[in-house]
Amino acid sequence: MNLDHALTARENLFDEKHETACRLFNGFTEGQPNLVIDLYARTAVLYNYAKPVEAGQDNLEVAQQFLLNRLPWLSAIIVKDRFGLYDSMKQGRLMYGDKADRHIREHGVRYAVELTMNQDSSFYLDTRNLRRWIIDNLHGKQVLNTFAYTGSLGVAAYAGGAVRVIQTDLNRQFLNVAKTSYTLNGFPIRKPEFMIGDFWSLVNRLKRAGEQFDAVFLDPPFFAATKKGRVDLAHNSARLINKVRPLIRHGGYLVAINNALFVSGQAYLDTVQSVCADGHVSIEQFIPVPDDCVGYALDPPSPITDPAPFNHATKIIVLRIFHKR
């Protein structure tokens, strides 16, 4: 595992105030599949994928010492054990420092993070380029962010000048993090714009109300099921896309994301193209995952499934929606 090579490749991402967020090491492509390291401001988060957990201890100790030597400005290190026996191990333990950072800055926008709230770190680094696209393209637009989680895509929309952003999620705690991001940026918090509930029910509610948006974000979890319906990115991406199409104005955008590792890029593209077959949906563009998330290995291993024509298992596509007129 060449951590020195990994950090050297990413040095251009570091900012003077140390407020940025990026992936410092992707072990799956850079030589150590049991370890991933992310940076959130001055806090490093080490994800231990070893099973059993103890098998990754040596790598964790080497990585922690390396980071403290190479990045003396670090103020905290958190370790998350993917296969830990307890939730506290999976959600993360503070191994160095007194407290973790609570916000980061990206593209000039501030985002709240809660690094030990969940098994991930509450902020998805692989959608950084998408947030840039949102900032650049949705000025003056009305936006719906389904499966919002902590709301970063919706925050980016407001930062880009969107006039209305509806954030929906099943979990109130996650949307509270989004509200903190609003406060950090001075955005108004309008209670009706935060909708807590099941995706299927909320979409039906918006349809009954005659709502339409200029852009809808569809970034569902890999699998989730409620009494109202099931999300399964390996099998029903087309259904999800078709479910939200009526909520998009003629000529509007649908941003669809599929992060299923075992769904190849071509298989997902085939699914999207099947939706486009009626002539009322067209592919606008693919948005690549940032290079730091992909990794900088000179000779990367073959992926579990080929993401091409996308550059990563997180497959991001922007669609345009057209209605019969």
Q: 70 and 138 share a domain?
A: no
Q: Is position 131 within any domain? A: yes
Residue at a domain's end among 51, 66, 101: 101
CA triple 317-238-319, angle to 5 deg: 30
Structure confidence at residue 312 (pLDDT): 96
What pLDDT, in 10s, does the model give residues 116-165? 999 999 999 999 999 999 999 999 999 999 999 999 999 999 999 999 99
For the segment 314-325, the average pLDDT, to the nearest whole number, is 94
Domain that holds residue 294: 120-321
Residue 204: is its pLDDT beyond 70? yes
For the segment 82-90, the average pLDDT, to the nearest whole number, is 95
Q: 199 and 301 share a domain?
A: yes
Report the share of the chain in percent with pLDDT over 70: 98
DSSP characters over 27-45: HHHHT-TTEEEEEETTEEE
Q: 203 and 315 share a domain?
A: yes
pLDDT band at 232 (very low <50, low <70, confident <90, very high): confident
Q: 172 and 62 share a domain?
A: no
Domain count, the chain: 2
Q: 48 and 135 share a domain?
A: no
Interhelix angle 3-10/57-70, rounded to 10 degrees, is 40
For the segment 68-92, the average pLDDT, to the nearest whole number, is 97
Find all residues with CB under 8 Å of 136, minimum gap 6, and list them: 160
Distance CA 154, CA 29 (A): 30
Q: 166 and 273 share a domain?
A: yes
Residue 231: is its pLDDT beyond 80? no
Q: Is position 106 within any domain? A: no
Q: 159 and 232 share a domain?
A: yes
Q: 308 and 193 share a domain?
A: yes
Q: Which residue has the higher pLDDT, 91 or 300?
A: 91
Q: Is position 110 within any domain? A: no
Q: Is position 107 within any domain? A: no
pLDDT band at 234 (very low <50, low <70, confident <90, very high): confident
Q: Supply the mean pLDDT for the chain.
A: 95
pTM for this prediction: 0.96
Residue 65: is its pLDDT beyond 70? yes
What pLDDT, in 10s, does the model give residues 9-36? 999 999 999 999 999 999 999 999 999 9
Residue 298: is its pLDDT beyond 90? no
Q: 74 and 179 share a domain?
A: no
Q: 20 and 124 share a domain?
A: no
Q: Is position 31 within any domain? A: yes
Structure confidence at residue 230 (pLDDT): 76
Q: In sequence order, which ranges of the chain are alpha helices (DSSP H)?
A: 3-10, 27-30, 57-70, 87-91, 128-137, 152-159, 172-185, 199-208, 237-244, 265-276, 291-294
CATH number at residue 46: 3.30.750.80
Q: 76 and 126 share a domain?
A: no
Residue at a domain's end among 38, 68, 101: 101
Q: Is position 115 within any domain? A: no
The tokens of 72 are what? 């003396």
Residue at a domain's end among 52, 71, 101: 101
Q: 238 and 271 share a domain?
A: yes
pLDDT band at 72 (very low <50, low <70, confident <90, very high): very high
Q: Is position 218 within any domain? A: yes
The tokens of 162 are what? 């969107």
Q: Is position 111 within any domain? A: no
CATH number at residue 126: 3.40.50.150
What pLDDT, in 10s, does the model give residues 238-285? 999 999 999 999 999 999 999 999 999 999 999 999 999 999 999 999
pLDDT band at 1 (very low <50, low <70, confident <90, very high): low
Structure confidence at residue 235 (pLDDT): 80
